[in-house]
Amino acid sequence: MTDTLFLTSDELEGLATPAEYVDAVREGYRQVGEGAPAYPRQKFFRSDPDGMFTSYAALLPETGVVGGYMYTSGFGAGNAWFVTPLFDAESGEPLAVLDGASMNPFKTGAAGAVAVDELARDDATTLAVIGSGSQARGQVHATATVRDFEEVRIFSPTPENREAFASEFDERLAADVRPVDSSAAALEGADVVITATKSGDPVFDGEDLEPGTHVTAMGQYQEGSHEIDTTTIERATYVPDLRERATFDAGAFLAALEDGVVDEDHVHADLGEVVAGSAPGRTSDDEITVFDSGGTGIETAAAADMLYRRALEADLGSTIDFAPASEALTGRLP
């Protein structure tokens, strides 16, 4: 038997700062950029009741862990449940099982922040956010650690949501944070644009992007749905979280391929390659860049390891027992 730590969402909440998430996730992407294995998500669907099961994983050899996410959404409960297993990459023993719900916006936001740090202009001061849910919050928390924004504009089609979001972050950030009544108003003069919505259709017109803008899009990861349009993909230096995902489930890129405005060579690099330095990030001040974030095991395993180590230091969690296969694979019935 081996003792494995179980950590609840409540125990994980507040265990690390957004900047610490960003540092851990950046290191994970560097390792993958240098050859560590990570693969796109697998998705399984059912109907009546409608539901989806998703899983993805990564092995980070220098961090010393392998882990990932598996979660359900929908089904009869109409909810989502996130489970994060974490294993020792040397021994293979299970280190921890995390209730991954509370860390989700922060580890995903950290991936977006790493991309902003690599792809946005150094002098970026104006941020546009389209979306007002938990994922948008995670993106803003993390992105504000890599650029000193002076102005943040929030658009959500529901006025009370964008107003509440703006009020919350106006108190948290040194920037002037305010709601606006259209995506076009949010984009005007923006240096960085974040889309974090549930929309399956584009939420802004790519022609409205000014030269030098960076876009992080993270709300859609399936064929047939895309919250950024094909014009944006066509105009931009395109960087997905994983190169393989661009033609697997990156809805915006697949739509651009179908429309014939780009080909597969339009993928500039994936984020790990940029972080590792094997591909350049931004190369000019007037370049439009896009980071297409669909979620990977990279940020999940990196963040889970950081939280696991913090929990050990703080003496948090409870232990559960796992039996090794050499003991448990008996093949005997009672």
* pLDDT averages per 10-residue partition of the chain, 334 residues: 92 96 98 96 92 96 97 91 97 97 96 98 98 96 98 97 97 96 96 93 95 90 82 97 93 94 97 98 97 95 98 97 89 73
Extents of the domains making up the chain: 2-104+297-328, 121-292
| pLDDT score, position 282 | 95
- What's 121-292's CATH class? alpha beta
Same CATH topology for 2-104+297-328 and 121-292? Answer: no
Q: Which two tokens stand for residue 28?
A: 């994970």
Q: Which two tokens stand for residue 152?
A: 């943040």
Instruction: Quote the pTM value.
Output: 0.95
| pLDDT score, position 204 | 96
| pLDDT score, position 330 | 81
d(CA 162, CA 160): 6
Write down the CATH number for the domain with range 2-104+297-328.
3.30.1780.10
| pLDDT score, position 86 | 98
d(CA 96, CA 85): 6
Q: Are 298 and 67 in contact (CB under 8 A)?
A: no
| pLDDT score, position 2 | 83
